[in-house]
Chain A
Amino acid sequence: MNNYRLILCFTILIACFSTKGIAQKKGEFSIGNIEVQFIRTGVEGTVLFKVFSYGKNYDRALENAKPNAVKAVIFKGIPGSDISRPMVNEYELSTSQRQFFEDFFNNGNYLNYVSISGDGSVDPSDVLRIKRNQYKVGVVVSVQKAALRKYLEETGIVKALDAGF
């Protein structure tokens, strides 16, 4: 009987932890580790840079490049470029703003502001297999920073330069 209770407790405990894990993955918006390398100022309103993403395989890593590129522009800034400062400070995000970004990235809205530069081919030297199930892929992306800023200003996430005047 005691063994049954013990097994039941363990099962409940494992279930709780796994639920929490899923909830964190699905519910919480996170920025994660993003590595960027500025290439050059693109055509007006855009910025061109290389973003390194991680994934359990090559395709998944490549898939992560676009959201990571947009996150880098919003939350990190691109060192060496004209947007070296972030548009939004992650630690200042309110709950509703976190929810906004969660929706923004989950419903694919961010795709309006990012594109893979050129024909999408990746330099072989930018593909690294770190572990058995982890790849790191660097891809050149173009982010429409002006349009993105405008959108964030309109939604009230970022303050416009003339706000308050």
Chain B
Amino acid sequence: MNNKYIFLSLVLLIIVNPLFSQAKKPTIMVVPSINWCEQNGYTYEYNVQGRTQIAPDYDLALAKSTELKLVIAKIAGLMGERGFPLKDLESTLQSIKNIAAEDMVTSSRSGAEIQESPLDQLKRVARADIIMELTWNVNNRGPFKSVSFILRGLDAYTNKQIAESVGTGPENGSATVPVLLETAVLAHIDNFNSRLQAFFDDMFENGREVALRIAVFDSFGEDLESEFNGDILSQVIEDWVYDNTIQGRFSLLDATENFMMFEQVRIPLFENERAIDTRTWARGLSTYLRKDYSIDSKIVMRGLGQATIIIGER
């Protein structure tokens, strides 16, 4: 009798458990667009192989523009009310600086310092899974002012625009710019959120869209067109991706003997009742290559959405 109850409880647990599983929540951050930063003088220039590049100086923008802080705070408040507290740009930048400062002075008793690869240093930038990119412009016509407002939601890892809300507010002769900006935020946030909701609905139905890159260490000695157990490696990888995506949905953007780029890869949100991200999913391919073909590989991540598997070493 007792066994029967235990068995029934286990069956119930298996049925009910997936209902409580929750997907990994993407992080969202409001960031001013490079266009706005450039127009307001919050950029810096740097040189890459003789060409001058412009990059947004978020620190400067946040230190000098009260309007930017007002808009970010307003959007964060409204998103928080909808159950999506935002990652704060200013705090993230500050946190990166603090960690860098701590790492510089941290050493062991023997004098050893914290190990950091060039890749680790490169990754120490303010990141989020979804960027809410913000641009506005105050239009003047005589005594009247209006605000043109662009709010774009960008999936940071597929580089797709997933939501947007654009428009110019009514002209006003008496309202100050901060008031016009606040109105603009209120006038656009719900439309933006309804598009964001459509993106999430699609994600829950068709899986998370991610990107997978396959690269080869030069120490590997073979390439993606080499044969292993009678199979061409690139074909083995492509077949695994087909078998492990929702309805086999992916597109192989480019493939050479050293490189494969998969985009629009639809991975499931759960596996064995456990929320998975691109890393967990890509680890499956890495394990498969190691177990079935004795090929070591290293996984490098970019947030929740993009994984690079580098074949040849761990």
Contact = CB atoms under 8 A, between A and B. Distances in A.
Contacts of A83: 190-191, 194
Nearest to B193: A161
Given A161-B200, A164-B200, A165-B23, A85 B83 contact: no
Given A161-B197, A162-B25, A145 B190 contact: yes
Interface residues of B, number: 25
Interface of A: 40-41, 44, 81-85, 145-146, 159-165
B84 A41 contact: no
Pick the 4 closest A-B CB pairs, nearest first.
A162-B83, A165-B25, A82-B190, A41-B187
25 contacts: A40-B170, A41-B183, A41-B186, A41-B187, A44-B186, A81-B187, A82-B187, A82-B191, A83-B191, A84-B191, A85-B194, A159-B197, A160-B82, A161-B82, A161-B83, A161-B193, A161-B196, A161-B200, A162-B25, A162-B84, A163-B200, A164-B200, A165-B23, A165-B25, A165-B26
B183 to A, nearest CB: 6
B22 A164 contact: yes
A82 B195 CA distance: 11
B191 to A, nearest CB: 5
A19 B194 CA distance: 41
B62 interface: no
A162 B82 contact: yes
Interface in B163-186: 165, 170, 183, 186
B204 interface: yes
A160 B82 CA distance: 7
A165 B22 contact: yes
A81 B186 CA distance: 10
A83 B197 CA distance: 13
A36 to B, nearest CB: 16
B191 A161 contact: no
B231 to A, nearest CB: 38
Contacts of B69: none
Nearest to A145: B190
Contacts of B189: 82
Given A161-B82, A161-B193, A82 B25 contact: no
Given A82-B186, A164-B22, A164-B23, 20 more contacts: A40-B170, A41-B183, A41-B186, A41-B187, A81-B187, A82-B165, A82-B187, A82-B188, A82-B189, A83-B194, A84-B191, A85-B191, A85-B194, A145-B190, A146-B81, A160-B83, A161-B193, A161-B197, A164-B200, A165-B23
Contacts of A81: 187
B314 interface: no
Interface string B47-74: 0000000000000000000000000000
A82 B185 CA distance: 10
B97 interface: no
Among B165, B186, B204, the most chain A Cβ lie within 10 Å of the Cβ of B186
Interface string B1-44: 00000000000000000000011111000000000000000000
Contacts of B197: 159, 161
Nearest to A44: B186
Contacts of A41: 183, 186-187
Among B23, B188, B191, the most chain A Cβ lie within 10 Å of the Cβ of B191
A150 to B, nearest CB: 8
A150 B52 CA distance: 49
Nearest to A158: B197
B27 to A, nearest CB: 11
B193 A164 contact: no
Interface in B216-259: none
B152 to A, nearest CB: 16
Nearest to A87: B194
